Amino acid sequence: MTQLTLEKFTAADFADYRQLVGNAEVMAMITERALPEHEARADFDKLLANNALHPLFGSFKVRDAAGRFLGLGKLTLESADSREAELGYMLLPEYWGKGWGGRIAAQLLALAQTQALDGIFAIIDPANVASRKILTKQGFVHREYKDFDGLPGEILYRKTVGENT
What is the per-residue pLDDT for 116? 86
How many residues does this entry show for the chain?
165
Residue 164 included in any domain: no
- Measured CA to CA, the distance from residue 93 to residue 31 in angstroms comes to 16
pLDDT in tens, 10-50: 999 999 999 999 999 999 989 999 999 999 999 999 999 99
Domain assignment of residue 45, yes or no: yes
At residue 163, the pLDDT reads 44
Radius of gyration over alpha carbons of the chain, in Å?
A: 15
Report CA torsion sign: 41, 43, 45, 48. negative
- State pTM to two decimals: 0.92
Residue 135 lies inside a defined structural domain of this protein? yes
The CATH number of whichever domain residue 17 belongs to comes to 3.40.630.30
Say how many domains are in the chain. 1
Residue 112 lies in a domain: yes
Give phi and psi for 71, each to the nearest 5: 160, -150
Position 133 in a domain: yes
Residue 104: give the domain boundaries.
4-159
- The helix (H) or strand (E) run that includes residue 100 is helix 100-112
What 3-state class would DSSP assign to 135? Answer: helix
Q: For residue 153, give the nearest of 135, 127, 116, 133 by alpha carbon.
A: 127
pLDDT over 80 at 159, yes or no: yes
**118 falls within a domain:** yes
Is 165's pLDDT higher than 70? no
pLDDT digits (tens, 9 = 90+) for 59-91: 999 999 999 999 999 999 999 889 999 999 999
